[in-house]
Amino acid sequence: MPVTPVGEVTGAPEMLGGRVKTLHPNIHGGILANLGEPSHVADLEERGIAPFQLVVVNLYPFRETVADESVTHAEAIEQIDIGGPAMVRASAKNHAWVGIVTDPSRYEEVAAAVEAGGLDDDLRLALAKEAFFHTASYDAAVVRWLERNEFPPVRHAIALERRASLRYGENPHQPAAAYADVEADPWWRRMTQLQGKEMSFNNYLDTEAAWRLVHEFTDTPTVAIIKHANACGVAQADSIADAFTSAWDCDPLSAFGGIVALNRPLDGETAERITGAGFVEVVIAPSVTAEAADAFTKKKNLRLIEGVCPDLADPDFRRIDGGFVLQTRDAISAEEKWDVVSARQPTDAEAADLRFAWGVAAHTKSNAIVICKDGAAIGVGAGDQSRVGASERAVARAGDRSAGGVAASDAFFPFRDGIDALAAVGVTAVIEPGGSVRDEEVIAAADEHGIALVFTGARHFRH
């Protein structure tokens, strides 16, 4: 195609090392002219400016530049486009007359429209919407980069784009959709759904909870079963199939209709156990064998997903009226120093179960008590208003299996009654943050019952 350099259109060579070249009346006059307004047409004719019908812009690669952590401040600043966004916004404003293309995926459609005689009103409007969002998200990326060294940032600009329309929200009367930050590549955009119905609003939330929980553990085959964002079964074993069986046995009643997440490939044996156990909504694993996929064909509505590891370090936003609260995402830090405060030390087996229980409790809604035994959660008390109530719920679910088990509490015991409730069913070791004004009373209760008690100095509330 014949190309006319910008300098020939403006009559002025670019200057300031390229910072100024399109910011000129011969460019912006041709873009912004309302051709239905006689005075605008007269201005163009008087100055010899030709109107533009189509503007195609690719902005400087700012995001790609700052993705390289070695880039200097000066190098990044030079990749902040000025003339490009100005042309994009001018064209989008004047979309009654000008088509603005910012997305290469639109090229074929726009080229076909040009060959057919021109862009119609609907296409120009659609392109204008995309263009304004494009410049808004570009500016958001610049703001986030400039604020990168301060957390929480003074300003945090987010550009969200709808990526999935959902049948409804938490309940059928609530319209809903799934949105992704244009700078993010979340697990749910990279997943491959092999079969089943479309993901629902609740499926997204529960699957993320299960996926994050199971990725708390990487060294051993682990399965998590989630219902209403809480674990109703988590287990580790030598095989992923045995891990599923132990996780399901924790609370089969609650697991019905739950979300199953695996941190190992899903094989045929595990798939047969899942299909034989009861109804589940979603199964997500790093990969699925052909044998496993075939086993699920009898469950047409079950959502079978191959997923990738979620970003475990991204900031945690929670919506409140008119805004958000923001925090770093909670994680079990290697800096947590365990302190055995009881007279009795935990055995090696108890210590292993305590570490597992501690990880599960950190992913359970507060107040949370998790009882574990032999690498499996056997009783989960979640979302209770009191810690003793959470203990009682965990004990009720574990039943006789509690004897010889260990327990984790996401926050300190404010009174000894929680320890007493666990001791009454044979729990032999407990892990909790410590820090209560009645810690001495709690330690005395543990010693009285012969319980090994560990303080971590770290709390893991989850609301």
User: In the 3-class helix/strand/coil scheme, how is 286-316 assigned residue by residue?
Assistant: CCECHHHHHHHHHCCCCEEEECCCCCCCCCE
pLDDT in tens, 339-386: 999 999 999 999 999 999 999 999 998 889 999 999 999 999 888 888
Measured distance CA(87)–CA(83) in Å, rounded: 6
For domain 6-146, the question of CATH label 3.90.1150.10 is answered with no
**Tokens in use for 300?**
């047409």
Q: What per-residue confidence (pLDDT) applies to 69? A: 87
Mean pLDDT calculated for residue range 440-452: 95
Kindly report the average pLDDT of the chain as a whole number: 92
8 A C-beta contact, residue 330 and residue 316: yes
8 A C-beta contact, residue 65 and residue 75: yes
For residue 93, indicate whether it is catalytic: yes
Superfamily of domain 190-306: AICAR transformylase, duplication domain (3.40.140.20)
Residue 4 in this model has a pLDDT that exceeds 80: yes
Residue 334 in this model has a pLDDT that exceeds 80: no
Measured distance CA(88)–CA(79) in Å, rounded: 17
- Which residue pairs from 175-181 have beta carbons closer than 8 angstroms and sit at least 24 positions apart in sequence? 176/201, 178/204
Q: How far apart are the first and last CA of the chain?
A: 59
8 A C-beta contact, residue 390 and residue 381: yes
Residue 336 in this model has a pLDDT that exceeds 90: no
pLDDT in tens, 30-49: 999 998 889 999 988 888 88
**Tally of CA atoms within 13 A in the half-sphere of 101 that contains its CB:** 17
DSSP helix/strand/coil, 204:
helix
The one catalytic residue among 93, 156, 197, 299: 93
Residue 200 in this model has a pLDDT that exceeds 90: yes
Residue 430 in this model has a pLDDT that exceeds 90: yes
Task: Assign domain 339-455 one CATH number from 3.40.140.20, 3.90.1300.10, 1.20.1530.20, 3.40.630.30.
Answer: 3.40.140.20
The one catalytic residue among 40, 156, 197, 228: 228
**What CA dihedral angle connects 439, 440, 442 and 447, to 10 degrees?**
140
Mean pLDDT calculated for residue range 139-148: 93
- The one-character DSSP state at 35 is T
Measured distance CA(350)–CA(271) in Å, rounded: 31
Residue 17 in this model has a pLDDT that exceeds 80: no
8 A C-beta contact, residue 395 and residue 425: yes
DSSP helix/strand/coil, 221:
coil
Residue 15 in this model has a pLDDT that exceeds 80: no
Environment class of 72 (CB within 10 Å of its CB; exposed 0-12, middle 13-18, buried 19+): exposed
Is the dihedral angle over the CA atoms 94, 95, 99, 102 positive or is it negative? positive
DSSP helix/strand/coil, 134:
helix
Q: What per-residue confidence (pLDDT) applies to 122? A: 95
Q: Where in the chain is the domain with CATH 3.40.50.1380?
A: 6-146
Q: What per-residue confidence (pLDDT) applies to 105? A: 94
Q: What per-residue confidence (pLDDT) applies to 383? A: 84
Q: Where in the chain is the domain with CATH 3.40.140.20?
A: 190-306, 339-455
Confidence at 161, pLDDT banded by 50, 70, 90: very high
Residue 8 in this model has a pLDDT that exceeds 90: no
pLDDT in tens, 52-99: 999 999 999 999 999 998 999 999 999 999 999 999 999 999 999 999
- Residue % of the chain over a pLDDT of 90: 70
Strand order from edge to edge, sheet including 406-409: 192-195, 303-306, 280-285, 258-262, 222-227, 230-236, 376-381, 369-373, 406-409, 429-432, 452-455, 339-340
For residue 228, indicate whether it is catalytic: yes
Residue 284 in this model has a pLDDT that exceeds 90: yes
Mean pLDDT calculated for residue range 163-189: 92
Residue 419 in this model has a pLDDT that exceeds 80: yes
Q: What per-residue confidence (pLDDT) applies to 13? A: 83
Confidence at 125, pLDDT banded by 50, 70, 90: very high
Task: Please state the φ and ψ torsions of residue 233, each to the nearest 5 degrees.
Answer: -175, 130
